[in-house]
Amino acid sequence: MNAGWEKHISYDSIEIEPMREEYVQPSIELWTTQFKNVKNTVQDIPEKWIIDVTAIRLFLEEHVKTGRGIVAKTNGDVIGCMVYDRLPFHGADVAFCPIMGHASVESGRARIYQKMYKNLSDFWVKDAILDHIITFFSLDVQLKQVLFNLGFGLYVVDAFRSADPVDSNGGASILKASLSDVEAVMRLGEESRNYYRESPLFLVRDKEKREYYEDFISNSGAAVFIAEIDGNSVGFMSIKKNPGDDVITLADKDTGMIDELGAYIQPSCRGHGIGARLLSYVLGWCREQRIDHIHVDYESANLYASGFWSKHFTPTMYSVRRRVNPDILHGRTP
């Protein structure tokens, strides 16, 4: 790639073309360069994505087939790429560009992303997709500012940490849930679901059946730990070994995932070290399972969770969301 032009990229010199097969390899090179820079700082993120690029190649090739992607070029060189999926999300169609779905050269980065988003967002809105979500590395301060200026706001944080122990002195006893504890886990799960509906989260989560909790508790590749005070269950934290590599979260098949069932502590018991005590048991289970790194994601509007997880994990990726004003569709045929 010719380095001479990189410092002189102008917005008008950037050409946008559909993602095609011949652009997959240069797009992979752009993304892996980006990832290596992050990995140098965030040690706990799995490195398999640069050891084996098969997953990103398959991911990009699939988007070539679906026609959901573009590249940015100048002087014949690919300097940026962006692919996306159309998904149903909380009652709306969303254009979602995951962490593996975009990259660019460093120089002229802001102009490249402005041009790519201008092109794609025009297509999305003409197709009546008003909700746009993009996930990017938290260290990418320049892209963060670009997306903020375009009207995006923080929505979800992905974070990683090692399985090393944490200090915990909370005044609760911790037990690993068995099937005899399913009622307690269900009750706390329902409390958690109601908590998510409250301000400022306003997030509706599906009500799970008893079988869901029983399957999770009885899974040999998962565990639920319950915090008890005076014999009363006041909180839980779950962990599950990732069954396969995930291009959305960058968790590989050997990552411990806190995300599925998650964690919850009753409001009256928060701030007393119970969360750290639960986490210490989760990390101990991970070490027993020879799991080296753990992933969690959380909504930025979840005030209690944001404070807790960011204390014990390294925020690695931000998912930001923009909602285009719906009156733009007036007079249009979706």
Q: Is residue 300 part of a domain?
A: yes
Indicate if 145 and 167 belong to the same structural domain: no
Q: Is residue 331 part of a domain?
A: no
Which of 103, 131, 151 is the C-terminal boundary of a domain? Answer: 151
Per-residue tens of pLDDT for the chain, all 334 residues? 333 334 456 778 999 999 999 999 999 999 999 999 999 999 899 999 989 999 999 999 999 999 999 999 999 999 999 999 999 999 899 999 999 999 999 999 999 999 999 999 999 999 999 999 999 999 999 999 999 999 999 999 999 999 999 988 877 999 999 999 999 999 999 999 999 999 999 999 999 999 999 999 999 999 999 999 999 999 999 999 999 999 999 999 989 999 889 999 999 999 999 999 999 999 999 999 999 999 999 999 999 999 999 999 999 999 999 999 999 998 655 5
Least Cα distance to 302 among 200, 193, 204 occurs for 200
Q: The tokens of 253 are what? A: 């098949």
Residue 302: HSE in the Cβ half-sphere, 13 Å Cα cutoff = 23
pLDDT, one tens digit per residue, over 270-292 is 999 999 999 999 999 999 999 99
Indicate if 143 and 166 belong to the same structural domain: no
Domain of 200 in residue numbering reads as 162-315
Indicate if 236 and 291 belong to the same structural domain: yes
What's this model's pTM, rounded to 2 decimal places?
Answer: 0.94
Chain-centre distance of CA 284, in angstroms? 24
Chain-centre distance of CA 65, in angstroms? 24
In this prediction, residue 331 carries a pLDDT of 63
What is the Cα–Cα distance from 132 to 139, expressed in whole angstroms?
A: 21
Q: At what angle do helices 303-312 and 274-288 cross, to 10 degrees?
A: 50
In this prediction, residue 170 carries a pLDDT of 73
Indicate if 141 and 205 belong to the same structural domain: no
Which of 94, 116, 151 is the C-terminal boundary of a domain? Answer: 151
- For residue 243, cis peptide bond before it (omega within 30 degrees of 0): no
The domain total for the chain is: 2
Indicate if 171 and 135 belong to the same structural domain: no
Indicate if 142 and 23 belong to the same structural domain: yes
Indicate if 279 and 305 belong to the same structural domain: yes
Q: Is residue 326 part of a domain?
A: no
In this prediction, residue 332 carries a pLDDT of 59
Indicate if 258 and 190 belong to the same structural domain: yes
Instruction: Fill in the DSSP letter of residue 181.
Output: G
The residue length of the chain stands at 334
